[in-house]
Amino acid sequence: MQKLENKLPEMKKNIGDKCPHFAGDDGKYDNINTDWWVSGFWPGMLWIMYDMTGEKSYRDAAWSWDETLEQWFVKPTGELHHDVGFQFLSTAVIKHKLTGDDDALRRGLEAANFLAGRYNPAGKFIRAWNEDKYGWAIIDCMLNISLLFWASEVTGDPRYKHIAISHAETTMQYGVREDGSTKHILSFDPVDGHYIECFGGQGYAPESSWSRGTSWGLYGFANTYRYTQDERFLNTAKRIAHYFIAALPEDHVPYWDFRLPTLDDQSRDSSAAAIAASGLLELAAAVPEGEKRLYADAAERILRSLTENYAVWDQPEHESILLHATGSGNSFIDVSLIYGDYYYLEAIAKLNGWKHRVY
């Protein structure tokens, strides 16, 4: 945490009002449209640092981001979709939790209504992306549904929670294999809802094992258990966690896919490691005392490796925290990714007593 308290002011100065996604060899984050799915992670980091330190400059830098993102609900060029959870949990929702701001509450609920509107009752899933992908659902959405659980809590309306549980049940049935590995894209008939097939998506192949998808599933099912206390979801989170931990290489940071056919592609994904570490800490908090160390120790091993082997601490001009992330097998290979930085910070903050979690 001390390293992050030194690092984040430099990031804040260098990133400024950019909307960052990835940084290459020069360590400079790009600047993308704020409708892109990653747009909530940088302001989310600012809010976490404000909560942890009380430093007002973090709050000031993060304050207007939910207002900026809200505009994409009415802009004709906006590309908002199932990932509004990622975008508004780490902006509007945490802003409301920390400040009580009424507009932040309204924007968070606006995003929850948008996400709920993507639910397909025939197939019992939240559709992914836009265009003609009416029958697609993806493992990533297991973290987005936290927005719906939150909306039920603040409004008292159980319909949001019903949709979230239904989507989680469908993902559990079709998206998690018996060994705990996960599928990325699930395809359903959007009219009658029957399951058709899975696609590899950002993994190597349909029946391979994309490591970041595994981490989305691990964290998402742990959260779903926290909101529902339904043992089915806890057991699913455990099964995914056991698979993830067992599949890690010696330095506890996964390759971008656990089932690559050869070792020619050695690309790691530090972002998958960071997401899994934060999810493992949630899992550790959910299980009986005798099981806690299994998951907490795995999270701490991952975070120690990221801290010592993958992080950039001594280059103030370098805008990212973690190196050696991989977006997929054909894009953003061996780069820094803002969501890797976010979940690393989130996990370290949890170990240092952070309570205002939003996923």
First to last CA, the chain: 20
Amino acid (1-letter code) at residue 140:
D
Is 231 part of a structural domain of the chain? yes
| Residue 71 binned pLDDT confidence (cut-offs 50, 70, 90) | very high
**64 CB-near residues (< 8 Å, 6+ apart):** none
Catalytic residue among 35, 51, 66, 83: 83
Q: Give this prediction's pTM.
A: 0.98
pLDDT in tens, 124-183: 999 999 999 999 999 999 999 999 999 999 999 999 999 999 999 999 999 999 999 999
Is 358 part of a structural domain of the chain? no
Give the CATH number for residue 55.
1.50.10.10
Is 357 part of a structural domain of the chain? no
Is 103 part of a structural domain of the chain? yes
Is 91 part of a structural domain of the chain? yes
Pure H helices in the chain: 2-15, 41-53, 56-62, 65-70, 84-88, 94-99, 102-116, 141-144, 146-155, 159-175, 211-228, 231-247, 270-286, 289-305, 338-351
Catalytic residue among 35, 51, 140, 269: 140
Is 356 part of a structural domain of the chain? no
197, two tokens: 């097939």
Q: Is 269 a catalytic residue?
A: no
How many domains does the chain divide into? 1
| Residue 324 binned pLDDT confidence (cut-offs 50, 70, 90) | very high
pLDDT in tens, 231-288: 999 999 999 999 999 999 999 999 999 999 886 767 999 999 999 999 999 999 999 9
Full domain range(s) for residue 55: 2-351
Instruction: Tell me how far apart the alpha carbons of residues 171 and 165 are, in angstroms, rounded to a whole number.
Output: 10
205, two tokens: 């192949």
Is 359 part of a structural domain of the chain? no
Angle at 336 between CA 334 and CA 341, to 5 degrees: 140
Q: Is 140 a catalytic residue?
A: yes
